[in-house]
Amino acid sequence: MTSILTHQGCTGPYITSRRPPAHMADCIEQYRLFNSGNLFILTDRENLQYLPTGDGIHAFAIEDYHSPKVTRFESLYNFKPDEFWCVTFTRLIYIENFLKAHGLRHVCEFANDILVYCDTDALTPTFKRLYHGFALTPCRPQHVLDGFAYIDNWEALADLTGFWIKMLATLGIEGILGKYKYDMVNEMTMMHLYSQEVGIETLPILPYGPHSNNFNEFGSVFDPATYGQFVSGTRTDGPGVKPQNHYIGVELGKHPEYSVVWNEGVPYFSHDGKLTKINNLHIHSKNMRPYMSGERAAK
């Protein structure tokens, strides 16, 4: 399966350079352990020189996929175009434009702080059978994440990003905050809003309960953020953190015996005497290397 990774140089908290972060190389290396398909990377033209090429890795200048839709969104949002919170939105418009330009379908998209532990080619038939737009990971009330996502077609993204622009043009930032009681208008809350108003298909994040959608089809789960935070910590908290505003964090808090364990370099959710494979970890701390398959298998 083709996968897409993005990096846009931007400003924001904890960001010290516009170049691709060091952990992005770890993300790519880990992905290649399990996947041999094309990996397309969209980045600023000035950053193309810092990215690997060959072995099915292809880098493209993101500026070549700019469109009036990007400009329209930027004009309506309350952060500057090169600020982190704006970039997290516009990257999805760039991906939409890239898929359309190259006639691509059936792709995985993930953030550069994700470690992938699955062969996406093996999951392709399941993705195709179950999802006909895109599939994301619910994380907590009012937050839906695309740290790891399946995208069937560019039209589905066009509907999502068009919805964002319509809501911003109609209500404005303050109107959205007032009507829907979000703490912030960012891509996580706006994907949640789309899920409430239009509907979003979801990947399973737990093997049981209301957030186990299609678990029986996959036999594994996907991490929105919580398993990765539990394993590696956050920028402020050490490993073992169990965010109680996360669906998975609530389960880890209710069941102290539940945990994440490793088998041959792959993480599993340990629960009720069972082991469920975790297909990816969202490493919020950005300290990726200790959780890569080669490092874990060597222990």
User: What are 132-172's pLDDT values in tens digits?
Assistant: 999 999 999 999 999 899 999 999 999 999 999 999 999 99
Average pLDDT over residues 121-135: 97
pLDDT of residue 128: 97
Please report whether residue 211 resides in a domain: no
In this prediction, what percent of the chain has a pLDDT beyond 90? Answer: 94
Last residue of one domain, picked from the residues 145, 174, 202? 202
pLDDT band at 99 (very low <50, low <70, confident <90, very high): very high
Q: CA torsion angle for 28, 32, 38, 41 (degrees, to 10)?
A: 0
Kindly tell me if the per-residue pLDDT of 109 is higher than 90. yes
Q: Which domain holds residue 165?
A: 2-202
Q: Are residues 261 and 196 in the same domain?
A: no
Alpha carbon distance 238, 230 (integer Å): 8
Residues 198 and 275 in one domain: no
- Asked if residue 62 lies in contact with residue 8, where contact means CB atoms within 8 angstroms, the answer is yes
| DSSP characters over 278-295 | ESEEE-TT---GGGSHHH
Same domain, 130 and 79: yes
| pLDDT at residue 53, rounded to an integer | 86
Residue where a domain stops, chosen among 169, 202, 235:
202
Q: Are residues 112 and 79 in the same domain?
A: yes
Domain count, the chain: 2
Q: How far apart are CA 2 and CA 56, in angstroms?
A: 10
Q: Are residues 150 and 279 in the same domain?
A: no
Is 34 part of any domain? Answer: yes
Q: Which of 175, 202, 229 is the last residue of a domain?
A: 202
- Cα distances from 247 to residues 130, 179, 196, 197, 200, in angstroms, run 23, 24, 17, 21, 17
Does a structural domain hold residue 187? yes
Question: Domain containing 13 — which CATH number?
Answer: 3.90.550
Inter-residue contact 77 to 86 (CB < 8 Å): yes
pLDDT of the residue at 204: 98
Report percent pLDDT > 70 for the chain: 99
Task: Say whether pLDDT at 180 is over 90.
Answer: yes
Q: Are strands 143-151 and 107-110 parallel, antiparallel or unpaired?
A: antiparallel
Rounded Cα distance, 7 and 84, in Å: 11
3-class SS at 88? Answer: helix
Residue 295: predicted pLDDT: 83
Asked if 234 and 175 sit in the same domain, the reply is no
Helix (H, G, I), strand (E, B) or coil at 15: coil
54 pLDDT band, cuts 50/70/90, is: confident
141 and 248 co-located in one domain: no
pLDDT attached to residue 154: 98
Give the separation between CA 275 and CA 267, rounded to whole angstroms: 9
User: Is 180 in the same domain as 35?
Assistant: yes
Would you say residue 63 has pLDDT above 80?
A: yes
Average pLDDT over residues 263-287: 97
Residues 163 and 228 grouped into a single domain: no
Average pLDDT, the chain: 96
**Residue 76 burial (C-beta neighbours within 10 Å; 0-12, 13-18, 19+):** middle
- Residue 207 within any structural domain of the chain: no
Instruction: Verify that 103 and 151 share a domain, yes or no.
Output: yes
Give the per-residue pLDDT at 106: 97
Query: Does the global pTM surpass 0.85?
Result: yes
160 and 58 inside one domain: yes
Contacts 24+ apart (CB under 8 A), 270-273: 271/207
pLDDT confidence of residue 112: 95
Position 280 pLDDT exceeds 90: yes
Claim to verify: residue 80 and residue 184 sit in the same structural domain? yes
Pick 297 or 48 by higher pLDDT. Answer: 48
For residue 297, name the pLDDT band (cuts at 50, 70, 90): confident
Is residue 70, in this structure, part of any structural domain at all? yes
pLDDT tier at 291, thresholds 50, 70, 90: very high
In a domain, 214, yes or no: no
Q: Does a structural domain hold residue 213?
A: no
Q: How does residue 235 score in pLDDT terms, banded at 50, 70 and 90?
A: confident
